[in-house]
């Protein structure tokens, strides 16, 4: 089946091993993203094409903006504050200090400024990960367990639905979400990605409460109607391993898309030389400003 679609354009040619976690800072008009397994946080300026790298010193699964400035990171070891001006990293909590074979993966802030991030095993052991929430008073709560590859997260505009991806299941899940308490209940599958399409990875949401899901090994981003359970738009990329996406630009109508080259052979990289680069698609849809951690 064919859907309305567009092609993403190369925005920044780079060789990220595992590009992930893009977040747009609407105040700075800059894009932050991570190269997870290289331990780098990047700041990309679309006005001049300059990309600055910050060496975090360990694997970094996600970086979210903080209302008071700087970032909160989900590192291999746990949650930490980070000040890019000084390079200072201030550990907050290590919820899986007893699991050295695990690391944090994707993460995002909810509408009330809590930071949600999930874990996975380096050896991809089934069910070894969990989804955690770092509350505004710096407490960590486990929200889900038995997760294999914790990935995309999103909340709707009414702040009463939470969407989540555990990649190997192929499912995009929906939960009832209580914004006041942060509790999630009533798990449902709103869309299933068939194996031949790739694997659902990172995710964002637009102003119409439609989900944008990056397809790892699928070479595209799909727009999903979570109510109808249907694909309604596609973005095609010239690389297979598409990892995540977020809306940016002055009008929040540009989708920035990260990719990777992990587990690719020399022959595959020769065939898809832009793997690991940053892409962008201008769209007739708009996103929302990124939620920030409020402590």
pLDDT in tens, 38-47: 999 999 999 9
- Residues 209, 203: Cα–Cα separation, whole Å: 12
Spatial contact of 190 and 226, defined as CB atoms under 8 Å apart: yes
CA 241 to chain centre: 14
d(CA 63, CA 142): 19
Q: Is the pLDDT of residue 240 over 90?
A: yes
Which CATH number applies to 5-282? 2.120.10.30
Give the single-character DSSP code of 86: T
Mean pLDDT calculated for residue range 267-280? 98
Nearest-angstrom CA–CA distance, 3 and 218: 15
| 291 half-sphere exposure, CB direction, 13 A CA radius | 22
Order of strands, sheet of 242-248, starting from the edge strand that comes earlier in the sequence: 9-12, 278-282, 254-259, 242-248
Q: What is the mean pLDDT of residues 26-31?
A: 98
Give the whole-angstrom CA distance, residue 46 versus residue 94: 35
Name the band, by pLDDT with cuts 50, 70 and 90, for residue 1: confident
Query: Cα separation of 286 and 247, whole Å?
Result: 7
**237 has pLDDT over 90:** yes
Helices (H) and strands (E) in the chain, counts: 1, 25
Render pLDDT for 187-211 as a digit per residue (tens, 0 to 9): 999 999 999 999 999 999 999 999 9
Q: Parse the chain into domains and list their residue ranges.
A: 5-282
Buried b (16+ CB within 10 A) or exposed e, 223-244: bbbbeeeebebbbebbbbbbbb
* CA atoms of 215 and 237, how far apart (whole Å): 10
Task: Answer whether residue 166 shows pLDDT above 90.
Answer: yes
Residue 256 has pLDDT above 90, yes or no: yes
What pTM was estimated for this model as a whole?
A: 0.97
The pLDDT value recorded for residue 217 is: 98
For residue 290, give the DSSP letter.
Answer: P
CA distance 45 to 229: 36
Task: Judge contact between 131 and 142, C-beta under 8 A.
Answer: yes
Residue 295 has pLDDT above 90, yes or no: no
Residues 6 or more apart whose Cβ sits within 8 Å of residue 181? none
The confidence score (pLDDT) of residue 119 equals: 98
Q: Specify the pLDDT at position 286.
A: 98
Residue 2: its pLDDT value, please? 86
Interval 218-225 mean pLDDT: 98
When the pLDDT of each residue in the chain is averaged and rounded to a whole number, the result is 98
Residue-wise pLDDT for 47-104, tens only, equals 999 999 999 999 999 999 999 999 999 999 999 999 999 999 999 999 999 999 999 9
Residue 169 has a pLDDT of 98
């Amino acid at each position: 089946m064919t859907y309305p679609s567009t092609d993403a354009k190369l925005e920044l040619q780079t060789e990220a091993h595992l590009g992930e976690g893009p977040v747009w800072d609407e105040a700075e008009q800059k894009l932050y993203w991570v190269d997870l397994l290289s331990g780098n946080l990047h700041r990309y300026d679309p006005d001049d094409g300059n990309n600055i790298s910050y060496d975090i010193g360990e694997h970094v699964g996600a970086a979210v903006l903080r209302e008071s400035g700087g970032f909160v990171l989900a590192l291999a070891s746990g949650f930490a504050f980070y000040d890019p001006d000084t390079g200072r990293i201030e550990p907050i909590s290590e919820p899986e200090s007893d699991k050295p074979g695990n690391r944090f993966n994707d993460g995002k802030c909810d509408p009330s400024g809590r930071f949600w991030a999930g874990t996975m095993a380096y050896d991809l052991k089934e069910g070894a990960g969990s989804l955690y929430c770092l509350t505004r008073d710096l407490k960590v709560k486990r929200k889900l367990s038995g997760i294999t590859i914790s990935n995309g997260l999103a909340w709707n505009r009414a702040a009463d639905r939470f969407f989540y991806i555990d990649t190997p299941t192929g499912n995009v899940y929906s939960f009832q979400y209580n914004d006041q308490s942060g509790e999630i209940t009533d798990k449902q599958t709103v869309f299933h990605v068939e194996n031949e399409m790739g694997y659902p990875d990172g995710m964002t949401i637009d102003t119409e409460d439609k989900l944008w899901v990056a397809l790892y090994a699928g070479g595209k981003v799909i727009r999903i109607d979570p109510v109808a359970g249907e694909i309604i738009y596609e973005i095609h990329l010239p690389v297979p391993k598409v990892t995540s996406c977020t809306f940016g630009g002055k009008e929040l109508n540009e989708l920035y898309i990260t990719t990777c080259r992990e587990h690719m052979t020399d022959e595959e990289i020769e065939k898809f030389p832009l793997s690991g680069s940053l892409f962008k698609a201008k769209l007739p849809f708009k996103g929302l400003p990124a939620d920030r951690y409020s402590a």
